[in-house]
Amino acid sequence: MTVSTIKIAPSLLAADFLHLGDQIAAVERGGADRLHLDVMDGVFVPNISFGMPVISAARRATTLSLEAHLMIASPDDYIHAMAEAGANSILIQVESAKHLDRALEQIKQLNKRAGVVLNPATPLESISEIVELLDVLLIMTVNPGFGGQRLIDYTLDKVRRAREWLNLRNPACDLEVDGGIDVSTIARAAAAGANVFVAGTAVFGAEGGAAVGIQRLLNAVNPPSP
């Protein structure tokens, strides 16, 4: 895979919240493809992060595409609010959606990109009926709720199978991985077939700053020729 097909989606969860504007500008300059926004409600996952006010502030700070990853108990009820706040893509966990088909339809009607997210233990088969409806398929490579966790190896097999499905049924769909993506894991996730890589700690926690973190991730997939 070439660098241009490898897309980095920095997760704002790992940013310095006192300096969000600067942090967003740094990843925009550093070549981020989109900004990943982890919305957590303390019910679907055992953590609370941020919601619409932070998304609309990010909207004012950048022209990057904003991707809202909803880790909340009733995602169906917040689609409008996320779109209104400025999200360009809305990603719904299949485990918490009440009516997934309707939710995806609502997202598309708002002219936003529609995506689903599968937890590590959720089988790929749970979305077999709706593969063609997706703009984004996100495979969690950790259990959702926290940054800084280790990638769970068996999830990469699901990425491999998802790549086969998408090649056959929806090749334009992004195949994204989220959790534990760093310089030691990104190449394996890319080899499994992912093309979008969410990274929080590896970007915002990078020594030298977020732009350096993005470059290191890209280099780990495609080492620069000597």
Residues that bind ligand DX5 in the complex, under the rule CB under 6 A: 11, 13-14, 36, 38, 69, 142, 144-149, 178-181, 198-202
Interface segment toward Zn ion; rule CB under 5 A; list 22-30, 146-154, 176-184, 210-218? 176-184
Do 175 and 6 contact (CB within 8 A), yes or no?
Answer: no
From the list 33, 41, 174, 178, the catalytic residue is 178
Toward ligand DX5, which CB reaches closer, 11 or 23? 11
CA dist 64 and 157 (Å) reads: 30
**Residue 178 designated active-site:** yes
CA dist 80 and 89 (Å) reads: 12
Query: What's the token pair of residue 134?
Result: 């997706």
CA dist 180 and 186 (Å) reads: 9
69 belongs to the binding site for Zn ion (CB under 5 A):
yes
CA dist 213 and 148 (Å) reads: 14
Interface segment toward Zn ion; rule CB under 5 A; list 48-56, 68-76, 96-104, 209-217? 68-76
Which residue in 41, 67, 176, 178 binds Zn ion (CB under 5 A)? 178
Identity (one letter) of the amino acid at 60? R
Q: State the catalytic residues.
A: 38, 178
Residues that bind Zn ion (CB under 5 A): 38, 69, 178
